[in-house]
A = this chain, B = another copy of it.
Amino acid sequence: MEHYKGLKPSRRNFLTGAAAVGGALAGSRLSAQTADPLIVNPQPWRQDLGAGVDAAPYGVPSKFEADVIRRDVPWLTADAVSSVNFTPLHALDGIITPNGLCFERHHGGVAVIEPSEHRLMINGLVDKELVFTMEDLMRFPRENHVYFLECAANSGMEWAGAQLNGCQFTHGMIHNVQYTGVPLRLLLEEAGVKTEGKWIMVEGADAAGMNRSIPMEKALDDCLVAFKMNGEALRPEQGYPLRLVVPGWEGNMWVKWIRRIEVGDQPWHAREETSKYTDLLANGVARRFTWEMDAKSVITSPSPQAPITHGKGPLVITGVAWSGRGTIPQVDVTTDGGMNWHKARMSGPSFDKSMHRFYYEMDWDGAPLLLQSRAHDSTGYVQPTKDALRKIRGENSIYHNNGIQTWAIDADGKAENVEIS
């Protein structure tokens, strides 16, 4: 049983919100069956037979959840085939992202691959070059791990100040699922990496042929060649039938529709690790090979897309935190823009390089709030302010912005993306 560190609703507090049955029925205290206001006015769903078990072989969400979708920002890119959409973090809870809502980032649109025709090739500095079918890969030992996948450009627009009004857009280039796959190490061992093989180049089977270099140490550590997410086959937009999983590292390296792994003695300096995915500093020098995603967090509710609608009294503040370097043992929440910090309650499993869920329960007096969250990871690193990051990195980059996010809540419960210093 979890211990609620935040203020939990007391009976007195809560009753200002929920209706006592007596109140709902004009003060009369009645026995259960006759008092039930739902029997007096039965809703249609209590009178009508619904759909049977043959109606939806693959289920879909309720029609009342039609707004909980991935959203793109058409002005952001020249074409939707090389663009991004965003996970609706404000509407989710727990730590698992359902497959239908995992954000997408493509460079040449979604490849539609017939799995029986898909091949994975290992070539270069190996004893024996190999081509695997999907069936071949299913004969290797598999592992199951929950990992977050975050685009390096997540929160990128925020380098220049508060830009996007909603955590779906400021922080929604992330998802968190359980992957099933074969350790890349086993496939490289099968091919036999030569002594001089220090890097791999991974390449997708999509029209963009997206490729990235990865150091051999990481390749042999925890990378997976994955074929399932949250139990079922990868979704097409997530690399069906095969993608690379590079735990804790920037999403661009998690090559989708992976078709080739070349072993070499140095990095390839591909387009996506030179002109893109390098971090231009104020002095014109670019940081490169900034692979790890630093500890980060965001309050998902209340937030601009999830305002407070219930007035004052008990309020649940919740959000997510993650680190590419380990777990998140602690998240702090402030409601006054950083003057006072409170330890949030962590809820749900804590996995290495996975999203974590936190809550902070409070009694809201109806006054404006400045909400922030601050993640601590298992290495001792503490999430910095955006200003602290800007002092060192300038504002040229669009990548690796893990600064603290601020939401201003007004007396009506509306939330806005703001910067405070």
Q: Is residue A339 contacting chain B, with contact meaning CB distance below 8 A?
A: no
Q: Is residue A83 contacting chain B, with contact meaning CB distance below 8 A?
A: yes
A49 and B207 in contact, given A55-B80, A119-B38, A260-B38 (Cβ under 8 angstroms):
yes
Which one of B190, B240, B262 contacts A14 once the chains associate, using CB atoms below 8 Å? B190
Which one of B17, B43, B131, B144 contacts A205 once the chains associate, using CB atoms below 8 Å? B43
Q: Is residue A128 contacting chain B, with contact meaning CB distance below 8 A?
A: yes
Q: Is residue A51 contacting chain B, with contact meaning CB distance below 8 A?
A: yes
A144 and B228 within 8 A (CB): no
Residue interface bits A33-57, CB-to-B below 8 A is 1, else 0:
0011110000101111111111111
A348 and B257 within 8 A (CB): no
A260 and B316 in contact, given A52-B106, A98-B232 (Cβ under 8 angstroms):
no
A43 and B123 within 8 A (CB): no
Q: Say how many copies of this protein the assembly contains.
A: 2
Interface residues in A225-272 by Cβ distance below 8 A to B read 228, 230-233, 235-237, 240-241, 257, 259-260, 262
A20 and B207 in contact, given A61-B233, A139-B314, A142-B347 (Cβ under 8 angstroms):
no
Q: Is residue A62 contacting chain B, with contact meaning CB distance below 8 A?
A: yes
Query: Least Cβ distance of A140 to chain B in Å?
Result: 6
In order of increasing CB-CB distance, the 3 nearest A-B pairs are: A52-B80, A50-B109, A144-B348
A46 and B209 within 8 A (CB): yes
Output the nearest chain B residue to A50 by Cβ-Cβ distance: B109
> Roughly how many angstroms separate A313 CA and B136 CA in the complex, as a whole number?
11
Binds B, one of A89-97, A365-373, A374-382: A89-97
Contacts of A123 in B (CB 8 A): 21, 32, 35-36
Output the nearest chain B residue to A81 by Cβ-Cβ distance: B52
> Roughly how many angstroms separate A85 CA and B54 CA in the complex, as a whole number?
7
Binds B, one of A69-77, A278-286, A385-393: A69-77
**Other 5 A-B pairs with CB < 8 A, given A18-B136, A96-B230:** A49-B81, A52-B79, A95-B231, A141-B316, A178-B348
Query: Least Cβ distance of A116 to chain B in Å?
Result: 8
Output the nearest chain B residue to A345 by Cβ-Cβ distance: B141
A50 and B112 within 8 A (CB): yes
| A-B contact list, 26 entries, CB within 8 Å | A6-B141, A9-B139, A14-B140, A22-B128, A29-B129, A32-B123, A38-B259, A38-B260, A45-B206, A46-B205, A50-B81, A53-B85, A55-B80, A58-B101, A59-B235, A61-B232, A64-B114, A93-B180, A94-B178, A95-B144, A96-B96, A140-B314, A140-B316, A142-B316, A145-B348, A230-B230
The winner among A84, A91, A93, A117 for most chain B CB atoms within 10 A is: A93
Q: Is residue A102 contacting chain B, with contact meaning CB distance below 8 A?
A: yes
A139 and B207 in contact, given A124-B32, A186-B8 (Cβ under 8 angstroms):
no
A94 and B131 in contact, given A48-B207, A52-B109, A109-B52 (Cβ under 8 angstroms):
no
Query: Least Cβ distance of A5 to chain B in Å?
Result: 10
Which one of B22, B146, B207, B315 contacts A349 once the chains associate, using CB atoms below 8 Å? B146
> Roughly how many angstroms separate A43 CA and B117 CA in the complex, as a whole number?
8
Interface residues in A111-142 by Cβ distance below 8 A to B read 111-115, 117, 119, 121, 123-124, 128-133, 135-136, 138-142
B109 and A61 within 8 A (CB): no
A14 and B228 within 8 A (CB): no
Interface size range of chain A in the complex: 35 or more
A133 and B18 within 8 A (CB): yes
A100 and B64 within 8 A (CB): no
A70 and B95 within 8 A (CB): no
B141 and A180 within 8 A (CB): no
Query: Least Cβ distance of A267 to chain B in Å?
Result: 16
Q: Is residue A19 contacting chain B, with contact meaning CB distance below 8 A?
A: yes
B240 and A359 within 8 A (CB): no
Q: Is residue A273 contacting chain B, with contact meaning CB distance below 8 A?
A: no
> Roughly how many angstroms separate A136 CA and B185 CA in the complex, as a whole number?
50
Query: Least Cβ distance of A23 to chain B in Å?
Result: 9
